[in-house]
Amino acid sequence: MIEDKNFDEKLLNSIKERKVAPKPRWHFILKEYAIWIAGAAFLIVSAVSFSLVIHMVRLFRFREFGFYQKAVHGPLEFLMLIIPVFWLVMLALFVAIVYYDFKKTKKGYRYPPLVIIGAALLASAGLGVIFARAGLGERVDDAIGKSAPEAFYKHVINPRIDFWSEPEKGRLMGLVIFKKSDDEFGVLDIRKKEWLLYTEGSIGNRDMIEVGRPVRAFGEAISENEFRAEEILSFGPGRGFIMKMRPMPGTPDMMFGEPGRGMIIPGEEGSPKKFFYRAY
């Protein structure tokens, strides 16, 4: 039993003396709204992560498995190349934040963790597919590729950049800087080195070879700056990263513009540098 017989009166008097007043209703409404808005924001961010996962795997061609399998040293390295680990980790992180946020809502505790996490994943996936279809994943990857620190992007976010940047091992990736003919064109790799690519007899759609666009080639380096391609592949994620190598318009020896918005001006025969793309 409560020993103090005047407990209730003393307590009420103490409330009065200390001039304690109930917190206003808007204070709690605002808090609840803030939790819901933060949850919705993190759900959108996790959906964007999901759209990036889609973007990273969407352009993956089945035959690329062969390249990766031959080149890697073990299953872990293989998985790291084919699975967009960074974006999956981001997705897991944001879904976890959505889960903790939802648990903070008034009735959030009533739902088991699996239901909340499952619903958050489903919502992220649904929204992520819509975002991916609208091209958001691609645009975000382009933007991150352009602005993220170079080493972080190519080692952590998109390790395939590194994988495709080993011409001595038969893998070359870069930006098409000039096109001499259907089977001969110039590429600037991520180390800003120019290569002349020969594609005669190689597999792959030639339409993707367009000045100012990134491209990947699998084959063999036949000299310091010449590469014979066995296969030409369209460029997947990392377009923004590679596009940031484009010189600014007005650079004296090479000028680039958006594909289809310029013209190739042929120079001296056999000199790649004399071909340049002039934007207008």
Partner 1 sequence: MLSIDQAGKMSDEELLLSSLGDQDNFLYLIQRYKQKLFNFIKRITSVADEDAEDILQDVFLKVYLNLNDFDHGFKFSSWIYQIARNQVISNHRKLKARAEGYKTPLDEEMVRGLASGLDMEKLADAEILKLNIRKILKGLSEKYREVLVLKFLEEKSYAEISDIIKKPIGTVGSLMNKAKSEFRKELEKQKVTL
Binding region for partner 1 (CB under 8 A) out of 51-59, 62-70, 76-84, 108-116: 108-116
Parallel/antiparallel/unpaired status of strands 276-279 and 194-198? unpaired
Tokens of 252: 């004296």
* Cβ 46 to partner 1 shortest distance, Å: 22
Q: How far apart are CA 268 and CA 272, in angstroms?
A: 8
- Give the angle 245-181-227 at the CA atoms, nearest 5°: 60
Q: Which residue has the tokens 């369209």?
A: 234
Under rule CB under 8 A, residue 111 binds partner 1: yes
Site for partner 1 in 17-56 (CB under 8 A): 20, 22-25, 27-28
Q: C-beta of 6: minimal distance to partner 1 in Å?
A: 11
Residue 137's Cβ-count burial label (10 Å; 0-12, 13-18, 19+) is buried
Q: Please tell me whether residue 8 binds partner 1 under the rule CB under 8 A.
A: yes
In whole angstroms, how close is the CB of 32 to partner 1 at the nearest point? 9
Query: Could you tell me how many residues of this chain bind partner 1 (CB under 8 A)?
Result: 25
Residue 15 contacts partner 1 per CB under 8 A: yes
For the beta carbon of residue 17, count every other beta carbon within 10 angstroms.
Answer: 8
Per-residue CA distances from 21 to 14, 25, 57 (Å) = 12, 12, 57
Which lies closer to partner 1 via its Cβ, residue 22 or residue 260? 22
Distance of closest approach, residue 117 Cβ to partner 1, in angstroms:
13
Nearer to partner 1 by Cβ, of 2 and 151: the residue is 2
At 207, list the tokens.
């339409």
Residue nearer to partner 1 on the CB measure, 115 or 222: 115
Tokens representing residue 222 in the block: 């036949």
Work out whether the CA dihedral 33, 36, 38, 40 comes out positive or negative.
negative
**Contact call for residue 118 and partner 1 (CB under 8 A):** no
DSSP tag of 192: S
Shorter beta-carbon distance to partner 1: residue 17 or 253: 17
Q: Cβ of residue 17: shortest distance to partner 1, in angstroms? A: 12
Site string for partner 1, 54-93 (x = CB under 8 A): ----------------------------------------
Residue closer to partner 1, measured from CB, 16 or 73: 16
How many other CB atoms are there within 10 angstroms of residue 18's CB atom?
8
CB of 26 to partner 1, least distance (A): 9
**DSSP code of 166?**
B
Least distance CB 38 / partner 1 (angstroms): 19
Q: Where are the beta strands (DSSP E) in 109-238?
A: 171-181, 184-189, 194-198, 214-221, 226-234
Q: Residue 122, SS3?
A: helix
Q: Is 5 in the site for partner 1 (CB under 8 A)?
A: no
Among 61, 106, 155, 192, binds partner 1 (CB under 8 A): 106
Positions in the binding site for partner 1 (CB under 8 A): 1-4, 7-9, 11-12, 14-16, 20, 22-25, 27-28, 106-107, 109-112
